[in-house]
Structure 1
């Protein structure tokens, strides 16, 4: 299976628009509060992500026709993963429907593939003899708000640079 491309609002960003650089980070929803006895308490209200995507290639990303006033589906290529000793993991987000989640098992010092099935956001891995740890890897899908990409064009090098910042809806 070939490596998937980033898709925003159903539009695939082609390889000639440049290899994408993606970041994911928490978007807030929690606050640290100091109690009267000095104890520090984390209050969690919600958990969302934000991120950015940028590229530099021979073509612009081709995203100018999207309706940025509405949430858009972002199919990311930034691998997310969960690691542990168990075989069942609840994924914190949705995996891309066009690229299945994969399972890995650590046998000795080597990570080897193992079967992975995701049903209703729960990944189940196949046990391997001698495995000491397991990992589920997936490419996420988000519903996001963003603005049109900022773009630059370098006529001398005949390249187009672009970037998008997004917030999970």
Structure 2
């Protein structure tokens, strides 16, 4: 099976040609911590679990994203994993999982992390973890897919080395 690629609007970013994509997830909507009149902290927020995603790279050619319609939502498939910690053998993934990459789990045995099988229900996002004897905790991992809104990517060229740089910042649309 081929390694998954970052994809925007169905266009794959190929590391050999377009550069290794650097990916950053920044939470949206978490809001600032403000102080009340007697100094008590209050977390101001309107929504949770939405992300701003920044992807960039440098390669010997651009990624070919000029033909996408940036006035419409786009699907962004990322390869930077997300993960959640649990001591339970069942959990629910809080996000959308790439349909072409199954989630996986690791068990911490006090010394090492070992892979352990899971049962995954894509409709409910429920995960059942196969127990590992002596495991202290588990981590469920997945590669996310986002529906995003964004402006056209930024482009650059170093003419001396013929290196094409590109980057985009997308915001998860939400439901």
Is 1:32 the counterpart of 2:36? The answer is no
Q: 1:12 matched to which residue of 2?
A: 12
Could you say which structure has the higher strand fraction? Answer: 1
Q: Runs (4+) of structure 1 moved beyond 6 Å?
A: none
TM-score (norm 1): 0.93
- Name the counterpart of 1:22: 23
CA distance in 2, matches of 1:28, 1:113: 33
Once the two structures are TM-superposed, the CA of residue 154 in structure 1 deviates from its matched residue by 2.2
Q: Distance in 2 between matches of 1:113 and 1:162?
A: 35
User: Contact 1:74–1:144 (CA<8 Å) still a contact in 2?
Assistant: yes
TM-score by structure 2 length? 0.90
Query: How far 1:97 sits from its partner (Å)?
Result: 0.4
Structure 1 alignment gaps of length 5 or more = none
Residue of structure 1 in register with 2:162 after alignment: 158
SS at match of 1:94: coil
Alignment of 1:22-61 (within 5 A): 22-47=23-48, 48-61=50-63
What is the CA distance between 1:114 and its match in structure 2?
0.5
* Distance change >3 Å, CA 129–CA 29, structure 1 → 2: closer
* Cα shift readout 1:15-68 (whole Å, capped 9, x = no counterpart): 210000010011125343433443212243212110210000112011110000
Aligned residue number for residue 78 of structure 1:
80
Aligned length, in residue pairs: 169
Q: Distance in 2 between matches of 1:88 and 1:44?
A: 29
